[in-house]
C-alpha cells in the first residue's frame, strides 16, 4: 500500500507540474483541440476502421516492442540468470526511462499530452518490471502491456470520436 501511495503521489505531482507549466492551459487541457484535430486528420486519411486498427493494434505492438522492449530484454535476461538485487532495479528503471522519454517527446503534441504519453509508457514499463520480478512468466510480461496499451488507445479513440468530435 505504501508503494502505491508513493506512486500515486508521484503521478499526481507530475500532472500538476505539467498543468502549471503549460502556456495555453485552457485550450490544451479543457477543449482537447490538439487531440481532436489529430484524430480528424487520421480518420480523414485512413478512415475510421483503419485508424482504430492502427491505434489499438499496430501502435501498441510497435511502441511496446521498440520503447519498452529494452527493459523487457534486460529483465528477461536477469530473470534467466537469477539476478535479483537493488542495482538490477536501478538499471531497469534507467533503461525504461530513456526510451520512454524519447518516445513521449517524439509525439507532436503539446507538453501536457507528452507528459501523459510519458506517464503511460512509464506505467507500462513498471508493469513489465513488476511482473518479471514476481516471476509471472516472460510471455505475460510481454503480452499484458501490449493488451492494456491497445485497450487504452481503443477506449481513448472511442471517447474522443463519440463525445468530443
Q: What is the 3-state secondary structure (H, E, C) of 115-130?
A: HHHHHHHHHHHHHHHH
Instruction: Confirm whether 28 is domain-assigned.
Output: no
Given a cut of 60, whether residue 25 has pLDDT beyond it is no
All residues at 6 or more sequence positions from 162 whose CB lies less than 8 Å from its CB, including other chains:
none
Task: With beta carbons less than 8 A apart as the criterion, state whether 74 and 125 touch.
Answer: no
pLDDT in tens, 44-87: 898 888 988 888 899 899 988 888 889 888 888 887 787 777 77
Instruction: Confirm whether 82 is domain-assigned.
Output: yes
Instruction: Confirm whether 13 is domain-assigned.
Output: no
| Highest-pLDDT range among 108-112, 120-124, 134-138 | 120-124
Look up the domain containing 62 and give its range.
34-164
Given a cut of 80, whether residue 30 has pLDDT beyond it is no
Given a cut of 70, whether residue 163 has pLDDT beyond it is no
Instruction: Confirm whether 3 is domain-assigned.
Output: no
Instruction: Confirm whether 90 is domain-assigned.
Output: yes
Instruction: Confirm whether 14 is domain-assigned.
Output: no
Residue among 92, 109, 93, 104 at smallest CA distance from 41: 109
Instruction: Confirm whether 26 is domain-assigned.
Output: no
- Min mean pLDDT across 91-100, 108-117, 125-134 is at 108-117
For the chain, how many structural domains are there in total?
1
Interatomic CA distance for residues 112 and 106, integer angstroms: 14
Interatomic CA distance for residues 132 and 135, integer angstroms: 5
Instruction: Confirm whether 57 is domain-assigned.
Output: yes
- Min mean pLDDT across 18-27, 77-86, 125-134 is at 18-27
Given a cut of 70, whether residue 153 has pLDDT beyond it is yes
Q: Strand runs (DSSP E) across 7-146, as ranges?
A: none
pTM above 0.85, yes or no: no
Amino acid at each position: 500500500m505504501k508503494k502505491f501511495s508513493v506512486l500515486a503521489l508521484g503521478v499526481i505531482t507530475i500532472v500538476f507540474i505539467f498543468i502549471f507549466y503549460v502556456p495555453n492551459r485552457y485550450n490544451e487541457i479543457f477543449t482537447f483541440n490538439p487531440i481532436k484535430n489529430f484524430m480528424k486528420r487520421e480518420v480523414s486519411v485512413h478512415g475510421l476502421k483503419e485508424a482504430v486498427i492502427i491505434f489499438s493494434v499496430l501502435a501498441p505492438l510497435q511502441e511496446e516492442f521498440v520503447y519498452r522492449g529494452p527493459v523487457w530484454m534486460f529483465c528477461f535476461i536477469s530473470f534467466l540468470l537469477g539476478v535479483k538485487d537493488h542495482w538490477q532495479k536501478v538499471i531497469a528503471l534507467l533503461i525504461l526511462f530513456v526510451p520512454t522519454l524519447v518516445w513521449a517527446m517524439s509525439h507532436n503534441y503539446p507538453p501536457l499530452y507528452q507528459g501523459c504519453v510519458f506517464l503511460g509508457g512509464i506505467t507500462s514499463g513498471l508493469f513489465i518490471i513488476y511482473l518479471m520480478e514476481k516471476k509471472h512468466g516472460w510471455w505475460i510480461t510481454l503480452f499484458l502491456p501490449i493488451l492494456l496499451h491497445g485497450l487504452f488507445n481503443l477506449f481513448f479513440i472511442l471517447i474522443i470520436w463519440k463525445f468530443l468530435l
